[in-house]
Structure 1
Amino acid sequence: MKYEQLAKDIIANVGGKENVISVVHCITRLRFKLKDENKANTEVLKNMDGVVTVMKSGGQYQVVIGNHVPDVYKAVVAVGGFQAESPVEEEESGEKQGLFNKFIDIISGIFAPTLGVLAATGMIKGFNALFVSLDLYANTSGTYQILNAIGDALFYFFPIFLGFTAAKKFGANQFLGMVIGAALVYPALSGLTTGKPLYTLFAGTMFESPVYITFLGIPVILMSYSSSVIPIVLATYVGSKVEKWFKKVIPDVVKAFLVPFFTLLVVVPLTFIVIGPIATWAGSLIGQFTTWLIHLSPIITGIFLGAFWQVFVIFGLHWGLVPIAINNIAVLGEDSILALVFAASFAQTGAVLGVWLKTKDQKLKSLSIPAFISGIFGVTEPAIYGITLPKKRPFIMSCVAAAIGGAMLGLFGTKIYMVGGLGVFGYASNIHPTEGLNMGFWGSIISTIVAFILGFLLTYFFGGVNKEENITIETVSGSTNAVQSTTATNAKKEMILSPLNGEVKQLSDISDAAFASGALGKGVAIEPAEGKLYAPVSGIVSALYPTNHAIGMTTDEGAEVLIHIGMDTVQLEGKYFKGHVSQGDRVEKGQLLIEFDIDQIKKAGFSVTTPIVVTNYDQFDATPTCENQVKVGENLLLVQSK
């Protein structure tokens, strides 16, 4: 439980355990589905040690952690006890999702748990093909056969694994999902497609299907469901609804075995008769469409996907393309979508190298080293959120380089033949199963090298790495109306005034570990003598929690100030607090913000000690100027940009 405290802080700041519907993780981020995102303390999380940033996309509240997210996820699950809870139906969340957001949420929830092992098995299969191409051993050897079994096992029996994750996502019995998937790949059924069919359905159309068996007289269209994606997802969704209905009508005393009994009797035949064929035809159409799109202009498609892939990743939109790529491999034996974006991570890594070698900021230089190393292995979130995106221009340069890399991948006709590793481990996915190291493979190497070099050069020379963020002030000169520009100094100072009357305390002396450790910001705390909170600076109310127990302000100079009245007072659900401003309001220093009843809060068992912290302390230093008693309007913190 190395990350136990971080897990506790994350759970507390996503609105508490009771606000969490579900949580999964991908390679770098925790993906929460929350009942009410407004209860989450986004700015607090963003500035927490151990958290890279926070994203809201696809109906998910995503807390970006970095490479060690699996360990943090285990701690979050253990602390929150989420594994033991059943998924909560959407209508309980208090907020309806749009269809697109719901689709992204479902797809990521189903596929994210499989990607690590899917990448591992794909790498094994890719390296196995490489070693055969290099004549290290023959494809008839026992070594090849065993390694191929490892590489093929997950993808061949993919419906079983997706049955498990889909059932979990849809709130069904996970073993029911696995049984449905296992039935789809049951080997005895595939052996029935030999010989003369009983008759043929849809003869003369693209859906022409021979019928070899029937179920209770109903024709069954037998298809190959190994490695398939869409049929099991749809079948499990239907199964979750059927199971839910049987749970309502079957008595509790026999529910444990009769619910799965009747569910399987309904869903499995229905899948073979209706769901499976329709889903398979739909998958074939999707595969043919993407193939048509690539053939229309692989270069233009590569430019588009390469340029915007990192943007898709930021907003979680790539989850809409990942299952299409997996479906293409199952239907066509190859995919071009993920192949065309392969250069994007190399372009991003090259941009980080440019920042690393160019920047004069020692802190940025030190952050660039681990981000560069992660990027080499295809994990670019630390690079994006920690380095290039905050500097803006390096991120744009990496997108330009990725677009050129994508165009080259399209020109070389690079494809992937399995879902393999990321970064340098991804080359194995480009090895053709029979042709070996063909032009598409060598094209992937050339394209990624070009994207890496371009990302580096464009960032180094045109990335504005050391450019100061100057403030341009326009003034009108006399009757000529000539506009003159003057540049303000990059160094910014301002004084944070006391928002309360009371006794000043050091943060390290208060009971809340997150504030005491400085993880949430740098500053001081005040033990208030009066239940009135005033604006300590002039600026914008950037965050005001519905309970009015905490408020965030962004000053005119850009410092972000968080004031949290009391410890754990969010549990009072707004009782004893009265707000006088709204989020987004412009306020002036000394303006009344919140009133609170100190006596009632203490009677309820809560401390009223109030931290006042600067949360973006990576950009601003905060130095206390008062150590004892303080009155409203007196100097409290000197804030200066770094």
Structure 2
Amino acid sequence: MDYQKLAADILKNVGGKENINTAWHCATRIRFKLTDEKKADTKTIENLDGVITVVQSAGQYQVVIGNSVGQVFDQLADQAGLENKSSSSTETPAEKENLVNRFIAFISGTFTPFLGAMAGAGILKGLLALFVALNWLTTTSGAYQIWYAAGDALFNFLPIFLAFTAAKRLKVNQFVAAALAAALVYPAMVTVASKSLTLHFFGIPVIPTTYTSSVIPILLAVWLLSYLQPVLDKIFPDAVRNIFTPLFSLMIIVPLTLIVVGPIGSGISNLLAGAVSGLYNFAPVIAGVIMGAFWQVFVIFGVHWTFVPVMMNNIAKMGYDPLLPILSAAVLSQAGAALGVFLKTKDKKQKALAGSGVVTGVFGITEPIIYGITLKMKRPFVCAVIAGGIGGAIIGLFQARANSFTLPSLLALPTYLGKGFDGVLIGIAVAFFLAAILTYLFGFSKETAIAAETNNNEVMSPIEGTVIPLKSVHDEVFSSEAMGKGIAIVPINGNLKAPVSGTVSAVYPTGHAIGLISDQGAEILLHIGIDTVKLNGKYFETLVKKEQHVNVGDALVSFDLEKISADGYEPTIMMVITNSKDYEVNVTTETAATDNWLLRLKQK
């Protein structure tokens, strides 16, 4: 689904941003307070691909989207300039982030915007090295020099790119930050540093340092700018602020960076490069086992971003990085595990997902494999960890190295040419095929194998109470089965439990709804009460987090049944299979109890 286009179409047909007083979203729908509902083209909106229906109720204009409502709303909020985007996220409100999480978020937000361009440029440099080795090009040819400039420019002027994205992350003037970085890599300054000449700034010596391709100095400099800019904004009046704040920012930060911040950053860079090199040289096999086995674990927890500046710093300081080739084993092991699942499973949906995962995995995109297959099934992920560790150990043994930064995958092979290249080929082959074999032999539990054989799912009762047909609930979005087929329960207590074993896919801030994806792929929405979103979280306590794995019967939400009813809200629980088009859904008429299934799903 093209969320950006859908959001634009919705925005246009509700009468544009001028017709929106407020907008927010709940578990399934975007809720508008429109200035004039007559300006909204309801028929057109209902026919949009991605919109289930439109409901006009209680003064709200509700566009029902389903599970993707959060993504669509974020795009709409950006396009309409809504201020309540963050407060309407489908994520559980988090406590103030600690320093480590803030640092990881900063690194991630700084590198992510141009990571694709960086990967493409790195592969181009690797291909040029391959072409020269095969005598297809010479380093003096015009084609080589032009392509090399295309591949190397981003890395040579890396501080400018980092300054621009870091400034956006730190909410300071991006163009001032880019100008600051450009001063560090200005040709005259590079020439002075290359000749080891010492400049003096009003008598203060400037240590000759080269900042091309560097990472840490510019990040420190922009961080410093984030403290200076607000001070200058307060000093200068509005009439001259746009000129004088950039003027004094450059006059202060550039010399301060060259005199103090830059040398400190370069010192940190040298220490990091030396530490990585020393550890790798001391025990390359151990380094290979650790990085090959646990890299994807680092990815899951988001801490892999802390390695990106280290690896780029290694290339800038030493001319190579020893970690990147090892990571290819970790990536290819996930692709191999996906191949094992593809060959073993009889579940059509799982087979299709695994097959596409093999293709994306060998090209370096492992998220669909991890979150859609291996981590969900657990055993294939363990098999991939084992295979990745062995493949990484082989690569470490050969002491392979990357000559340029790019995302680890088969496409990155040209960047590993040189010392240890044979070890890379052996290591990634072992990681890929061993993961496939281990997954095929040991990656399926007995229960998983039975489920794959029968293609059946049983969805248990999420709460004790009286079962009623979904069509009888007093909410047309659910009763019309526009969201999908399911069942409703009038509860007798306030303890909502997991009806399946699976992963929590959505946790809503108001606590009135939970999204689950079963281990067999069924997408389930549990919605507590009718219009209870208006309670804004009152009487609800969420007991799980997004991406958490739960088992049947685990507690999901605790709510005060009596107080919700006393406030005039129907507490009926709606349990809907939002991808019910993929299943034959059989519904039981039994009274809901924890030992009775309510829905039995069989894949079509």
Q: TM-score, normalised by structure 1?
A: 0.71
Q: Please say if 1:460 is aligned against 2:440.
A: yes
Q: Please say if 1:376 is aligned against 2:362.
A: yes
Q: Please say if 1:638 is aligned against 2:601.
A: no
Q: Deviations over 1:543-585 (max 9, x none)?
A: 9967464478999xx9977123235x535424xx645x87489
Q: Please say if 1:443 is aligned against 2:440.
A: no
1:156-235 aligned at under 5 Å gives the runs 156-193=156-193, 212-235=198-221
Query: How many angstroms apart in 1 are the aligned matches of 2:220 and 2:334?
Result: 36
Q: Deviations over 1:115-161 (max 9, x none)?
A: 10000011111111111111112110000000000010100000000
Are the equivalent residues in 2 in contact too, given 1:360–1:466 (CA < 8 A)? no
Are the equivalent residues in 2 in contact too, given 1:405–1:451 (CA < 8 A)? yes
Aligned equivalent of 2:576:
613
Aligned equivalent of 1:278:
264
Aligned equivalent of 2:128:
128
**Partner-residue secondary structure (3-state), 1:97:** coil
Q: Please say if 1:566 is aligned against 2:530.
A: yes
**Partner-residue secondary structure (3-state), 2:213:** coil
Q: Please say if 1:79 is aligned against 2:76.
A: yes
Query: How many angstroms apart in 1 are the aligned matches of 2:4 and 2:162?
Result: 30
Query: How many angstroms apart in 2 are the aligned matches of 1:583 and 1:411?
Result: 46
The structural deviation recorded for 1:639 is 2.0
Aligned equivalent of 1:330:
316
Are the equivalent residues in 1 in contact too, given 2:341–2:440 (CA < 8 A)? yes
Aligned equivalent of 1:109:
109
Instruction: Summarize the Cα distance change of 1:154–1:107 in structure 2 as closer, same or farther, 3 Å threshold.
Output: same
Aligned equivalent of 1:304:
290
Choose which of 335, 351, 373 in structure 1 pairs with 2:337.
351
Instruction: Summarize the Cα distance change of 1:497–1:216 in structure 2 as closer, same or farther, 3 Å threshold.
Output: closer
- What is the number of residues matched between the two proteins? 526
Query: How many angstroms apart in 2 are the aligned matches of 1:80 and 1:104?
Result: 26
Query: How many angstroms apart in 2 are the aligned matches of 1:407 and 1:310?
Result: 16
1:492-511 aligned at under 5 Å gives the runs 492=458, 494=460, 504-505=470-471, 510-511=476-477
The structural deviation recorded for 1:302 is 0.3
- Give unpaired runs (5+ residues) of structure 2: 11-23, 32-64, 87-92, 545-552
Letter in 1 for 2:574: P
Letter in 1 for 2:400: T
Query: How many angstroms apart in 2 are the aligned matches of 1:358 and 1:347?
Result: 17
Are the equivalent residues in 2 in contact too, given 1:350–1:455 (CA < 8 A)? yes
Are the equivalent residues in 1 in contact too, given 2:284–2:396 (CA < 8 A)? yes
Q: Percent identity?
A: 38
The structural deviation recorded for 1:409 is 0.6
Instruction: Summarize the Cα distance change of 1:266–1:592 in structure 2 as closer, same or farther, 3 Å threshold.
Output: closer
Are the equivalent residues in 2 in contact too, given 1:17–1:80 (CA < 8 A)? no
Instruction: Summarize the Cα distance change of 1:2–1:641 in structure 2 as closer, same or farther, 3 Å threshold.
Output: closer
Whose helix fraction is larger, Structure 1's or Structure 2's?
A: 2
Query: How many angstroms apart in 1 are the aligned matches of 2:479 and 2:357?
Result: 28
Query: How many angstroms apart in 2 are the aligned matches of 1:166 and 1:385?
Result: 29
Letter in 1 for 2:422: W
Query: How many angstroms apart in 1 are the aligned matches of 2:150 and 2:343?
Result: 42
Aligned equivalent of 1:317:
303
**Partner-residue secondary structure (3-state), 1:414:** coil
Aligned equivalent of 2:561:
593
Instruction: Summarize the Cα distance change of 1:306–1:48 in structure 2 as closer, same or farther, 3 Å threshold.
Output: farther
Query: How many angstroms apart in 2 are the aligned matches of 1:258 and 1:155?
Result: 31
Q: Deviations over 1:27-86 (max 9, x none)?
A: xxxxxxxxxxxxxxxxxxxx97679xxxxxxxxxxx9xxxxxxxx7xx666422189699
Q: Deviations over 1:278-301 (max 9, x none)?
A: 100110110000000000110111
**Partner-residue secondary structure (3-state), 2:561:** strand
Query: How many angstroms apart in 1 are the aligned matches of 2:207 and 2:130?
Result: 38
Query: How many angstroms apart in 2 are the aligned matches of 1:515 and 1:239?
Result: 54
Letter in 1 for 2:191: G
Are the equivalent residues in 2 in contact too, given 1:171–1:240 (CA < 8 A)? yes
Query: How many angstroms apart in 2 are the aligned matches of 1:514 and 1:109?
Result: 42
Are the equivalent residues in 2 in contact too, given 1:107–1:319 (CA < 8 A)? yes
Are the equivalent residues in 2 in contact too, given 1:548–1:594 (CA < 8 A)? no
Are the equivalent residues in 2 in contact too, given 1:495–1:636 (CA < 8 A)? yes
Letter in 1 for 2:254: V
Are the equivalent residues in 2 in contact too, given 1:562–1:614 (CA < 8 A)? no
Query: How many angstroms apart in 2 are the aligned matches of 1:213 and 1:162?
Result: 26
Instruction: Summarize the Cα distance change of 1:17–1:251 in structure 2 as closer, same or farther, 3 Å threshold.
Output: farther
**Partner-residue secondary structure (3-state), 2:471:** strand
**Partner-residue secondary structure (3-state), 1:167:** helix
Aligned equivalent of 2:235:
249
Are the equivalent residues in 2 in contact too, given 1:533–1:592 (CA < 8 A)? no
The structural deviation recorded for 1:623 is 3.5
Query: How many angstroms apart in 1 are the aligned matches of 2:319 and 2:99?
Result: 30
Query: How many angstroms apart in 2 are the aligned matches of 1:514 and 1:221?
Result: 73
Are the equivalent residues in 1 in contact too, given 2:470–2:478 (CA < 8 A)? no
Are the equivalent residues in 1 in contact too, given 2:491–2:573 (CA < 8 A)? no
Letter in 2 for 1:451: A
Query: How many angstroms apart in 1 are the aligned matches of 2:75 and 2:178?
Result: 25
Instruction: Summarize the Cα distance change of 1:523–1:143 in structure 2 as closer, same or farther, 3 Å threshold.
Output: same
Bigger Cα displacement from structure 2, 98-107 vs 163-172: 98-107
Q: Deviations over 1:83-105 (max 9, x none)?
A: 969999xxxx9832222111111
The structural deviation recorded for 1:366 is 2.0
Query: How many angstroms apart in 2 are the aligned matches of 1:405 and 1:587?
Result: 40
Query: How many angstroms apart in 2 are the aligned matches of 1:405 and 1:618?
Result: 41
**Partner-residue secondary structure (3-state), 2:257:** helix
Q: TM-score, normalised by structure 2?
A: 0.75
Are the equivalent residues in 2 in contact too, given 1:230–1:279 (CA < 8 A)? yes
Are the equivalent residues in 1 in contact too, given 2:177–2:222 (CA < 8 A)? yes
Aligned equivalent of 1:534:
492
Query: How many angstroms apart in 2 are the aligned matches of 1:328 and 1:515?
Result: 57
Are the equivalent residues in 1 in contact too, given 2:337–2:381 (CA < 8 A)? yes
